[in-house]
Structure 1
Amino acid sequence: MKFGAAIKDALYTEWQSSYIDYSGLKRFVKDRQAKHSWDDVDEADFIKALEGELDKVVKFQENKMKELTDKITEYEADVKDLIAQADAAAPPTPSTSEGGDPADTDASDDETDDEFEDRFVDLEEDLANVIADVHDLGHFSHLNYTGFVKIVKKHDKRTGFALRGQFMREYLDKRPFYKENYDAIIVQLSRLYNLVRTRGHPVMGDSSAGGSQNAFVRQTTKYWVHPDNYVQLKLVILKHLPVLVFDPEKPFEQADAAVSSSYFDNENLDLYLGRLEKTEGAEAIRMRWYGGMDAKTIFVERKTHREDWTGEKSVKARFPIKEELLNDFLSGKHTMDETFEAQLKKGKKTAKEVESMIKLAREVQAAVRVKKLRPVMRTFYNRTAFQLPGDARVRISFDTQLSLVREDNWDGETRAGDNWRRPDCGIDWPFPNVKDSDKELFPYGVLEVKLQTQMGQEPPEWVRELVSSHLVEAVPKFSKFIHGCATLLPNRVDLVPFWLPQMETDIRKPATRKAQIQRPVNSHSASPTHSPSETASGDTADLTGYTEPVSDDEEGDENQHHAITNDEAGWVDLPAQAAAEAKAYRDQNAGKLDASAPNKAAAKLQEIFPKLTPANLSKLLDSKYETERDRGLNEAAAEGQDTVNPSGISLRPGRVEYVSSFRAQPGKRIAIPVRVEPKVFYANERTTLSWVEFSVVVSAIGIGILSYADPHDDIALAAAASFTTVALLSLLYTGYTYVWRVKKIRNREAVNYHDWLGPSVLCGVLLLAVIVNFSLRMKAGL
């Protein structure tokens, strides 16, 4: 589908006049070229028309943002008044009522409650429409930005004039409407929507909810989110969980969402390798702070990985320290003993907590000194956290603008120097003061879903719907620290994470009915016209069983379900019956396709393939297909044009390539997650002992034949020699196989441990020996 037709299908009808006139600009170029060759006058007129379209779009977005902000402020006053009135009108207890018929009092109370409930319902519908407006405005920005990029590309291709660079620098960069940050309005809207949804009494929850059970499951899963889906994802979540803010009375500032961490390692990258290979006791040591570089409190954190077989859990421990004391602490000149003991005397900490923090501080100091740890890299991102205050059952964090910055001095260039972090890098994303070779701007957002449910209990349905929607792409075990080291230190890293080869793959998928922003159907303010937020209606497709990929520091693998995407109905957004009929028709014609197509791969193109996730590494298909992205944001593949997303990172959309294997850069190896537990070694030992036992039995047969047979019986001598030779070969093969398996297990290599050759050859040789012995005996007897 051409973009001109796609934008007409995807736009919000009520705002139609405010979108870029893509078709008009395209027709402008064609008409001028039809009359004469494109000249400077035509170029000036086109730039003027383009600037006019940009002014129209920017002005509309600014006005709409102001309108939404004012509307939310008005609703906030209405909600507070309604809550105050509802609390004031709360019915008194029967013992405090004075006179009157109790029945009449109850009836009037019910009428009052119904009246307030109706007003709350109306406000909830109004806010749902505001949420849809915010979603549509985000879609408006992306659609128009894509339109400007595409029309300029088309202009350059047709006319031969190079306008793209100039237009990006002098127009779009100076009026970056597509970089609008919706965090402030989302935080305000989340707080307000939560008040209305809970009727003025937000659920505070219990900090130990779910943790007081003897049997509960913790699930931590990480996902990548494409920038096109940032706004929609946040709006979907806030309808179920409020944005977690530590000071609700303080106006939101962008610095409040900033989170920075400086990770430490040595020149051998021992901590990196330990975390990548998931060795028992692997540590990650980092200094974390919130807000800008003026933060006075720094948190020293240590994450320790524990294997399940140890019976211990992976832990993250930390303690605060003043920024001016951190260098002395890391060098060993300052200890935290007195500081923690002072907190004990003031009653701020218990004796157990103080003892734990003192132990942690000493261990971190010892690790820095013994392992010669220095700052290696820094991570920065803006975090939006969703959680009921004090309730840890469902926690969701969404990190955007993730950036990774080098801090080491190993290549002779001074970055951090003798300090614990480099001073020239703050929170001014995308860090113009940092060289491009020293930073990596991650192209996606990182969504982390943490669930704590009772054993056998399903997660909330909306969570299952969210993680199975087109908005996210599951990436188990993703680590910011590992990714930063792998990309920023290519000369020191020869083992890379498994997700690194997938970075060039576009993770966008066609939209489904799951996790959509919809306007209330019966709302008095809902527009009957087409809206991007109303792309789906009716019942959603049946959800399959909730499958959580294993993530970083995950315990309890026996409670996890591993599955590939095989819900064709949900994937293509069709009813189950229609999907079944389509599959039956496809299967019926599969034979015809195989017979008529010159290449059997053509038949595969007719199928709906599972999505590309690390969980499906062993089932990837060696075929290609192209798919039109949702809302026609991409032109036909024949044009071969790239799309630059609002974050400024170029991606190749529209094409998904399935390969049978991954290949790293020359000199690099891909780390495949392999869990090694003591029972793996025990299983190898048991298998070896079984083979030894079998070999002993076979050798005993040979020795028995030799001992009890006539010394002049040549047939018995040959049979004994045959069985003894088989036993000796079996012992040699057993020893070699045992050593080979032990080596591979210790190196955590993802090889095929199934022995299909040894048992088959052994059985064949034994069968041959028995047949030869029997044949010779029969012949001698004859």
Structure 2
Amino acid sequence: MKYGEHLKANIAPEYGEENYLHYERLDQIITQLTETKPSRAVETSRVVSMTAPPQTNAQGLDTSKINITEEDFLKLLESDMQKVEVFTLSQVTDLRHKILGTEALLKQTDGKGDPTWDPIVLEENADEIAEDFLRLEKYVNINFMGFHKILKKHDKRLPNLACKEFYVNRLHAQAWVRGDYSDVVVRLSNIYAALRNDNQAEENQDASQSFLRSTTKYWVKTEDVSRVKYAILRHLPVFLQKTSTGESDSQFTNSVYLDNDQLELYHGRLDKTPGAIALRLRWYGPGDPKLVFFERKTHNETWTGDVSVKERFTVDESEVQQVLTNTYPIAEKKQAMLESGTSQKEADEWETLVREITQVIVSKQLVPTMRTQCMRTAFQIPFDATVRVSLDTNLCMISERGYELEDMKVWHRDSSWVLEPNEIHRFPHAVLEIKLELGGGSLTPPKWVTDLQNSGFLYECHKYSKFVHGCAVLLPEDVRAVPYWIDDVSLRQSIVDSQAQRILADATVGVGPGANQVYNHLLPFGTTVNDRSLTAVGRTNADRNASKGLVGDKAPLLGAITTGANFYADEDGDDYGEDEEDISCWPFPFCSRQNYVLDGPLAPTSIQKIEPKVFFANERTFLHWLHHGVILSTIASGILSFSHETGAGWGQWYALALLPISLSFCVYAVHIFLWRADRIKTRIPGRWDDPWGPLMLGSTVAIVLFCNFIVKLVAISKMDLM
């Protein structure tokens, strides 16, 4: 489908065609300018005679008779940019007025102070506002992408009149692109919280010990971020952040990870070694840090019965150097804690944690290695940890190597330093993390969480780590192995932008052999040369139902408005989804390196969590089938031996019928074992059972037994008659 047709097919009737980009008209102007392109002599001429006849173009046409000029294209482009900006800002203003009216309804009470508003009407108003915002986001995205497409086509057809760089920068500088609309999310969150009548739970330190914990990480395409936010805030409130301009739904978060020259902590976290740790220094808010959190994360596999642990303590920024050099006055700080009323147990635990962290920093010679930055949005009912959700957007990794530490006085890069391309990596997706703490010995999440997970807007990335990803991309010469998700094609362009091509597997663009070949000992999909993880049905959007996991009822706002993003090509045969420039919309708040391809392999990899017990269960099933096959063959062999001695004819036929069935059991067991092991290795979402094989084998055995029953019944009847 051509982009002009795609745009027409996705015009919102409420907005009208006149408020969209005139893509087809701009395309026609480009075509006409191409057909009437001036000759080379005219292009290079620096003087003109006002008395000589007008020069002709490449087709011999009088240039003075040409009605379409480059100025017509630029005028229409400017007009459309202004039109989209005015319309977008007017729609945002209307949305804010609607929210203001809904908030006014919330404040209505009777004489006794009880609310008088109808919850059904209020929820309908909130849903309508959310749907209007998502519709506006779709409008903005499709126009924003249209400007990128038409400017790219203009420079491709008319390279001597190139203007894309100028107008793209102008586009990004406009108010409708740079605007902050987080207040809409915050106010909607407050409305839904009032509708749910959220009550702040009481803090209970002891109750947490009886809960099972589960953490799952997902990738979210940027065009789906708002939709996912609204699906969550219908059930959980946004944890508000104070900013200079008021309240925001997100907070700027920095984390500096420590490691040594051998990247010992990186490889421990990558291999998921039991007890592997990660140390980081975290602070919140823009600007230089003031209060710094020292955090230690210890990995344990859940299938062993242990859980991963995160511990932390806080220090002032001026004390960071003391912790990193093991000169921190632990005894004095502990005494001050006891004098301030801290219990002896808490003080002892704090001392143990600080001593362990300072000692491991010195013993392993840990230094700042990797820094992650993101805007974090948190969803949680205060002091209720049943369901917690965090969403990290505008995620980037920065290398902390290559500058003088001055005995740990400088432990992070200054914001004024200019970063080289190989020192920063911008992750193309948002990262969603769902944390569950459920009682009763069950980790079954609430229905709305299941609906969100199965909506198709989340792509599970098992054990994804920002620290591991950043080190793999920005320190490719120092790592000995890289994570499996590096070869996901949706990350390809961002990795190339960070000059880490050698870890990619893409011979068509002349880059390195790929992580799955260089580090094949780490492959979670097996050690085959051809990695089918990128083409297997269900691992990409080649199979929409499999990759999107469309099972169960989707959350209302998830299915309210479709993005209308389809795979198409323009008139030049330029595939929309395959051009990385078409998805380079960052830092536009609605569109950040989007991936619209639904039928190609450019969707983030959807990975199921695989634990060792899954392989053991497959082996047990294989042995059970073999066991039954051996039993049947033993019975058949015994019947055949006794029937041969006694000369019973039917017994021999009965035994001969059971022998091939027992052999079929064994062959079927081997086939299913290998088939299921392959699906486990490739982590293909979908059914891993065989619904027909057991039915066919069981039916065959039942038929043979039934025939034997009939024969014996007839034989007994004849004996009675005699």
Q: TM-score range by the shorter chain?
A: 0.5 to 0.7
- Give the Cα separation in 2 of the matches to 1:89 and 1:249: 33
Contact 1:504 1:651 in 2 (8 A): no
Secondary structure of 2:274's aligned partner? coil
| Counterpart selection for 2:312 from 318, 324, 343 | 318
Q: What's the CA shift for 1:180?
A: 4.0
Contact 1:394 1:451 in 2 (8 A): yes
Shift of the alpha carbon at 1:297? 0.9
One-letter amino acid of the counterpart of residue 352, structure 1:
K
**Equivalent residue number for residue 23 of structure 1:** 24
Q: 1:190 to 1:438 in 2, by over 3 A?
A: same
Tell me what 1:654 maps to: 597
> 1:481 and 1:269 mapped to 2: Cα distance?
11
One-letter amino acid matched to 1:135: L
Kindly indicate whether residue 295 of structure 2 is the aligned counterpart of residue 352 of structure 1.
Answer: no
1:203 corresponding residue in structure 2: 199
Q: Is the 8 A contact 2:297 2:309 kept in 1?
A: yes
Comparing 370-379 with 413-422, which one deviates more in the overlay?
413-422
SS of 1:262's equivalent?
Answer: strand
Q: Tell me the residue number matched to 1:639.
A: 574
Shift of 1:291: 0.6
Equivalent in 84, 88, 105 of residue 57 of structure 1 = 84
Residue among 399, 408, 416 paired with 1:418: 408
1:238, distance to aligned residue in structure 2 (A): 1.2
Match of 2:225 among 230, 246, 266: 230
User: Residue 227 of structure 1 contacts residue 647 of structure 1 at CA under 8 Å; is this kept in 2?
Assistant: no
In 1, the alpha carbon distance for the partners of 2:304 and 2:473 equals: 32
Larger RCO of the pair (alpha carbons < 8 Å, separation 6+): 1
Given residue 444 of structure 2, which amino acid in structure 1 is its aligned partner? E
What are the equivalent positions in structure 2 for 1:621-640 lying under 5 Å apart?
A: 631-632=564-565, 634-636=567-569, 638-640=573-575
Matched, 1:404 2:397: yes
Partner letter of residue 242 of structure 1? Answer: P
Taking structure 1 as the reference length, the TM-score comes to 0.60
Structure 1 letter corresponding to 2:26: L
Decide whether the 8 Å contact of 1:565 with 1:610 is kept in 2.
no
Deviation at 1:59, TM superposition (A): 1.5
Question: Aligned AA for 1:640?
Answer: D
* Kept in 1: contact 2:257–2:467 (CA 8 A): yes
2:233, 2:294 → 1: CA distance? Answer: 31
TM-score (norm 2): 0.65
Superposition deviation, residue 165 in structure 1: 3.1
- Indicate if the aligned counterparts of 1:222 and 1:447 stay in contact, CA closer than 8 A: yes
Q: How far apart are 1:36 and its partner, in Å?
A: 7.2
Alignment partners' CA distance in 2, 1:339 and 1:415: 26
Verify the 8 A CA contact 1:395 1:450 in the aligned structure 2: yes
1:601-657 deviations in whole A, cap 9, x for unaligned? xxxx8x7684399xxxxxxxxxxxxxxx95145423842351224216767753766
State whether structure 2 residue 399 is matched by structure 1 residue 466: no
Q: Distance in 2 between matches of 1:418 and 1:185?
A: 42
2:468 maps to 1:482? yes
Q: Which of the residues 436, 439, 450 maps onto 1:451?
A: 436
- Equivalent positions of 1:307-706 (< 5 A) are 307-308=301-302, 311-347=305-341, 349-409=342-402, 413-414=403-404, 418-425=408-415, 433-454=418-439, 455-456=441-442, 458-504=444-490, 610-611=546-547, 631-632=564-565, 634-636=567-569, 638-641=573-576, 642=579, 643-647=582-586, 654=597
Offset, 1:136: 1.5
Distance in 2, Cα, partners of 1:59 & 1:479: 41
Choose from 255, 263, 266 the match for 1:272.
266
Instruction: Within 5 Å, give how 1:36-47 maps onto structure 2.
Output: 42-47=69-74
Contact 2:469 2:483 in 1 (8 A): yes
For 2:669, the equivalent position in structure 1 comes to none
Equivalent AA in structure 2 for residue 55 of structure 1: Q
Counterpart CA distance in 2 for 1:209 and 1:328 is 31
Match of 1:301 among 295, 302, 307: 295
Distance in 2 (alpha carbons) for counterparts of 1:350 and 1:656: 60
SS of 1:194's equivalent in the other structure is helix
Give CA deviations for 1:568-625 in whole Å, capped at 9, x if unaligned: 9xx99xxxxxxxxxxxxxxxxxxxxxxxxxxxxxxxx8x7684399xxxxxxxxxxxx
The whole-number CA distance in structure 2 between the counterparts of 1:307 and 1:208 is: 26
Residue in structure 2 matched with residue 617 of structure 1 by the alignment: none
In structure 1, C-alpha distance between the alignment counterparts of 2:568 and 2:407, rounded to whole Å? 49
Contact residue 407 and residue 415 of structure 1 kept, 8 A: no
1:129 aligns with 2:122: no
Residues in 1 aligned to 2:545 and 2:169: alpha-carbon distance in whole angstroms: 43
Q: Which runs of 5+ in 1 are unaligned?
A: 91-112, 427-431, 508-563, 573-604, 614-628, 663-671, 688-749, 752-782
Give me the whole-angstrom Cα distance separating, in 2, the residues matched to 1:417 and 1:486.
26
Please show how residues 244-263 of structure 1 align to structure 2 within 5 Å.
244-245=239-240, 251-253=246-248, 257-263=251-257
**8 Å CA contact 2:148, 2:168 repeated in 1:** no
Structure 2 unaligned regions, length at least 5? 39-56, 58-62, 494-533, 550-561, 624-680, 683-722
Q: How does 1:69-88 map to 2 (within 5 A)?
A: 69-79=96-106, 81-82=107-108, 85-86=109-110, 88=112
Contact conserved, 2:584 with 2:594, CA < 8 A, in 1? yes
Distance 1:219 1:485 in 2: 26
**Is residue 166 of structure 1 aligned with residue 165 of structure 2?**
yes
CA contact (8 A) 2:268 2:276 kept: yes
